[in-house]
Chains A and B, each alone.
Chain A
Amino acid sequence: MIEPILETRGLDKNFGALNVARNINFALAPGARHAIIGPNGAGKTTLINLLTGVLKPSAGSVYLGTNDITKMAEHQRVKHGIARTFQINTLFMGLSVIDNLNLAISERMGNATGILRPAGNYSEVMEEAGRILSTLKLDNDALTEIHELPYGRQRLVEIAIALALDPKVLLLDEPAAGVPSAESHIILDAVDSLPKDIAVLIIEHDMDVVFRFAERITVLVRGAILAEGDPDEIAADKEVQAVYLGESAHV
């Protein structure tokens, strides 16, 4: 197997007596299209929070390539190429779409602490924002404030901000959650067209999305990995069917 780009070894997390992550050994390959599925409360978002550094593990470690990043703060991990989206929109609601992106781009390009030149004069930031907005077809909404956008397009801005960080690893926490089905294709198209060199880890409830997108699937149950394999293996796994797939009408 190829060297993984993101890896966890023996990851544990407990809140008091509650184990939300149990001995998770997980590897994400470079350029992967990997999905994590599992019933509610399986610890999927917890795992993302452990990977991004929002939570500190009780035991075990997280590696980015060969570097141990277990003790690294969230903002430092971002600088090393880990970006995420949030399950519930976590945007700068009072700012325009392009201002949202520029915050991320300035931070990545290292000019966010500039105090002398006006922000509008950083043409490299503007060009990058324009490129991402065009890719995600958000250009007509560039000056619209987030709270004025329909929910589906807000979800798209979530992805746009993550892309603005030029990540090596992108963690998508239920990117289509809450989006009306009429709009969900916009999100799915965006996910499909993500650059191939980015390793993408997606958490998703919608099995159609998972099986359309993922090349590899990990099943999480009660904080532990139950199974891992390609979509066919997972679909055929008896145990998985028993605890998870059996619950929903899956095609």
Chain B
Amino acid sequence: MTSSTGTPTGSLARSVQFLQRRHRFHWAEIIPWILAIAVFYLLPGYRLLATQILVMILFALSLDLIVGYAGIISLGHTAFFGTGAYITALMASNDIPDPILGLIAAAAGAAVLGLVSGWVLLRTTGLTLLVLTMAVTIMLQELANDFDEITGGFDGINFTNSEILGLIELDQLWYSSSYIYVLVVLFFGFLTIRTIVYAPFGRMLIGIRENTQRMSAIGTPVHQRQVSVYIISAAIAGIAGALWVQVQGNVTTEVYTFELSGEVLIMLILGGTGRLYGAFLGATVYKILESTTEQVLGTDEPYWQFAIGIVLILTVLFARRGLFGIFEDIVKKFKGASKGEVQ
């Protein structure tokens, strides 16, 4: 309804108000960061695992931008992770050991790869796109294996970082400064993605996911926009790859494996796509389960691989919105019971 002055009133005003507040921070959003800091002080023995989890969260978040928001399926996201990792390692082993410079170069390099491959691949859809994303990753892995005088091949490259901003040294023993460093980078990475997602650009990505044909019909140059988000996602994945190798001071061709592409997709699906915190939940649960399984049952037998296969099948059949989706349903039920239906 509209009042005589033209200002919307009633339900319309409430709707607009809802949109104006949608992007605001919810108090619960501080929880993951408190947990991350708590882990640092309370569980120092788990810092290595926790550091890996933080990196994987960033990697999964970057994938969420294209899979969860823009609806582009990729089984080759390690192409960017691995490229970022190698750029950083090669710089560090060639007298440019500054970690921050390494991150910037990794982001830039991965972004360029994202531009080139995205421009070309995103003209296709569906299964062809899936095949091509896989093919690019496997090709890069082959190249990394073939040029082993540069990449170090299976043994990889060892390198040392210089101090961050000339002040803080990344320790690879106790993971104290390393953990904080990764946490800070993740925080800024997350803020960037969160800002993008709630901005018109992010809404536009959701539109492409929901209905590509209609997006064209409202004047959106879909291909160009898909390439743009692909570049952003690639850059962030490149940073994740750089972090991964910086904290361990070593890179091998493992960073390019197709399996890793699959794993990060599984983490994302497990947590829930297109909802930011799905990546947090998925990567954490995945990595903790993995390390527990390996500790309890040993790494000799592929128990973990079997478990993840079954979990994946069950997730698709029964919990397609992931753990975070289940969590949302529970919260909704709880709120619905206490306050009545929210509308």
* Chain A contacts to B: CB under 8 angstroms: 52, 54, 73-76, 78-79, 83-84, 86, 90-96, 98-99, 102-104, 106-108, 111-122, 125-126, 129-130, 133-134, 139-140, 142-143, 161, 164-165
Q: Which residue of B lies closest to A80 (CB)?
A: B219
**Is there an interface contact between A75 and B195, defined as CB atoms closer than 8 Å?**
no
Task: Determine if B21 is an interface residue (Cβ-Cβ < 8 Å).
Answer: yes
Whether B21 contacts A120 by the Cβ 8 Å rule is: yes
Report chain B residues within 8 Å CB of A74.
Answer: 216-217
Q: Is the CB of A106 within 8 A of B219?
A: no
* A126-B20 contact, Cβ under 8 Å, with A116-B195, A118-B199, A119-B203: yes
For A98, give its contact among B19, B216, B218 (CB under 8 Å).
B19
* Inter-chain contacts of B200 with A (CB < 8 A): 102, 106, 111-115, 117, 119, 122, 125
| A120 with B217: CB separation less than 8 A | no
A140 and B11 within 8 A (CB): yes
**Which residue, of B16, B195, B204, B217, has the highest number of chain A Cβ atoms within 10 A?**
B217
Knowing A92-B214, A116-B199, A119-B203 touch, does A165 contact B219 (C-beta < 8 A)? yes
Instruction: Give 9 nearest A-B pairs by CB, closest first.
Output: A78-B219, A142-B15, A118-B23, A139-B12, A92-B210, A120-B20, A104-B218, A134-B2, A130-B8
From 294 to 321 in chain B, residues with beta carbon under 8 angstroms from any chain A beta carbon are none
Which one, A99, A120, A142, contacts B23 given CB within 8 A? A120
Is B221 interfacial (CB-CB < 8 Å)? yes
Given the known A-B contacts A114-B200, A114-B201, A120-B19, are A75 and B222 also in contact in the complex, defined by CB atoms under 8 Å? yes
Main secondary structure of the interface of B (DSSP, over half): helix
User: Which A residues are CB-close (under 8 A) to B30?
Assistant: none
Does B217 contact A102, Cβ atoms closer than 8 Å? no
Point out the residue from B198, B199, B203, B215 that lies within 8 Å of A102, measured CB to CB: B203
B22 within 8 A of A: yes
* B220 interface residue (CB < 8 Å to A): yes
Bound complex: CA A94 to CA B198 (Å)? 16
A93 close to B211 (CB less than 8 A): yes
A/B interface sample: 11 pairs, CB < 8 A: A86-B214, A92-B211, A94-B210, A102-B200, A103-B207, A106-B204, A119-B19, A121-B20, A122-B200, A130-B12, A139-B8
Q: B225 within 8 Å of A by Cβ?
A: yes
Which partner residue on chain B sits nearest A137 by CB separation? B1
By a CB distance below 8 angstroms, the chain A residues around B11 are 139-140, 142
Extra inter-chain contacts (17) besides given A76-B219, A92-B211, CB under 8 Å: A52-B217, A75-B216, A75-B220, A95-B210, A99-B19, A107-B218, A108-B218, A111-B200, A113-B228, A116-B195, A117-B200, A126-B16, A126-B20, A139-B1, A142-B12, A143-B14, A165-B219
Q: Are A90 and B199 in contact (CB under 8 A)?
A: no
- Against A, the Cβ 8 Å flags (1 = close, 0 = not) of B37-52 are 0000000000000000
Whether B214 and A90, one on each chain, are in contact in the complex, defined by CB atoms closer than 8 angstroms, is yes
Q: Could you list which residues of chain B lie within 8 angstroms of chain A, going by C-beta atoms?
A: 1-2, 8, 10-12, 14-16, 18-23, 195-196, 198-204, 206-207, 210-211, 213-222, 225, 228, 343
Docked CA distance A202–B222 (Å): 27
Report the separation of the CA atoms of residues A83 and B200 in the bound assembly, to the nearest whole angstrom: 21
- CB-based nearest B residue for A164: B218
A222 CB to nearest chain B CB (Å):
27
Q: Could you tell me the distance between the alpha carbons of A99 and B199 in the complex, rounded to whole angstroms? A: 13
How long is the Cα–Cα vector from A112 to B200 in the complex, in angstroms? Answer: 5
Instruction: Point out the residues of chain A lying under 8 angstroms from B219, CB to CB.
Output: 75-76, 78-79, 104, 107-108, 165
Task: Note all chain B residues with C-beta closer than 8 A to A118.
Answer: 22-23, 195, 198-199
Would A113 and B225 count as touching, CB distance under 8 A?
A: yes
Interchain CA distance A102-B343 in the complex, whole Å = 20
Using A91-B211, A134-B1, A143-B18 as known contacts, say yes or no to A113 and B201 having CB atoms under 8 A apart: yes
B111 CB to closest chain A CB (Å) equals 15
How far does the Cβ of B332 sit from chain A's closest Cβ, in whole Å?
15
Partner of A130, one of B16, B207, B215, B220: B16
Cα(A119)–Cα(B20), bound, Å: 8
Residues on A with C-beta less than 8 A from B21 are 120
The answer to whether A95 and B15 touch (CB under 8 A), given A84-B217, A113-B201, A118-B199, is no
Whether A103 touches B202, Cβ cut-off 8 Å, given contacts A119-B19, A121-B20, A126-B19, is no
Q: How far is the CA of A116 from the CA of B199 in the complex (A)?
A: 6
How far, in Å, is B10 (CB) from chain A's closest CB? 7
Q: How far apart sit A54 and B217, CA to CA, in the bound complex (Å)?
A: 9
**B169 to nearest A CB, angstroms?**
34
Q: Is there an interface contact between B220 and A134, defined as CB atoms closer than 8 Å?
A: no
- Cα A104 to Cα B87 with chains together (Å): 40
Bound complex: CA A163 to CA B206 (Å) = 21
Q: Which residues of B contact A102 (CB under 8 A)?
A: 19, 200, 203
A109 nearest in chain B by CB position:
B200
Residues on the A chain within 8 Å of B225, using CB: 113
CB nearest to B225 among chain A residues: A113
B12 and A120 within 8 A (CB): no
Interface contact A165-B218, CB-CB below 8 Å: yes
**CB–CB A90/B217 < 8 A:** yes
Known interface pairs A74-B217, A113-B225. Does A93 touch B210 (Cβ–Cβ under 8 Å)?
yes
Complex contact B203–A106 (CB within 8 A): yes
B23 — which chain A residues lie within 8 A by C-beta? 118-120
